[in-house]
Amino acid sequence: MEEKIVYFENPGEGNTPEVLKLVKDRATARGIKKIVLASTRGQTARAAVEALAGTDINLIVVPWQYGFADQQPFPPELVTELEAKGHKVHFGTMLFHAENLYGSKVPRALADLLRAFSQGFKVGMEVLLMATDGGKVEIGEKVIVLAGTMSGTDTAFVATAAASTQLGKLHVSEIICKPL
């Protein structure tokens, strides 16, 4: 099997329109019906809803957990709007920021290792685990994951979901795009 991987020269939100097109095409080609998407302030979620309009693809949007910053930047009215359109929003524990909870440096080490691929890859793995831990994605379900660097999205991959307690079952089968 041969498939195209797109590499962006620069990370960041300028790649969002191309990522969404690539993801829509790959989801359609693979029959994937769920996309797990990191979205801090909601702009990327709004762009994804617009790009996927007219499809039967559902979003699982994962913003920051409550308490990560002084204020939750994801608008509550957007949660209502997304859910009214059949999408889901999940506020869960950001697993790679849990060293204070567990007293271990392992979460930080995992995050640093994943950043070797890209910041978006690290965030994508984290939101996939969060969504699966929260029951929004089934263990063993094949999904597409989108995340980025600072804002927007610049990284997408196809993965088989696993819970954070079953990391050995997590599998990335295809990289759709990422920054160099």
Task: Kindly state which CATH superfamily the domain 6-179 is placed in.
Answer: Pyruvate kinase, C-terminal domain (3.40.1380.20)
Average pLDDT value for the chain: 86
Measured in degrees and rounded to the nearest 5, phi and psi for residue 62 equal: -120, 100
Q: Is 63 left (phi over 0), alpha (psi -120 to 50) or beta?
A: beta
User: In the predicted model, is pLDDT for residue 41 greater than 70?
Assistant: yes
User: In the predicted model, is pLDDT for residue 21 greater than 90?
Assistant: yes
Query: pLDDT, tens digit, for every residue of 95-126?
Result: 655 555 556 666 676 767 766 777 788 889 88
What distance in Å separates the CA atoms of residue 62 and residue 42, rounded to the nearest whole number? 10
Contact 179/10 with Cβ under 8 angstroms?
yes
Hey, what long-range contacts does 109-115 have (CB within 8 A, 24 or more apart)? Answer: none
Query: pLDDT, tens digit, for every residue of 130-167?
Result: 899 999 999 999 999 999 987 889 999 999 999 988 88
Q: What is the pLDDT of residue 66?
A: 45
Tokens 């059949």 found at: 86
Q: What angle do CA 127, 130, 134 make, to 5 degrees?
A: 140
What proportion of the chain, given as a percentage, has pLDDT over 90?
55
What distance in Å separates the CA atoms of residue 18 and residue 49, rounded to the nearest whole number? 14
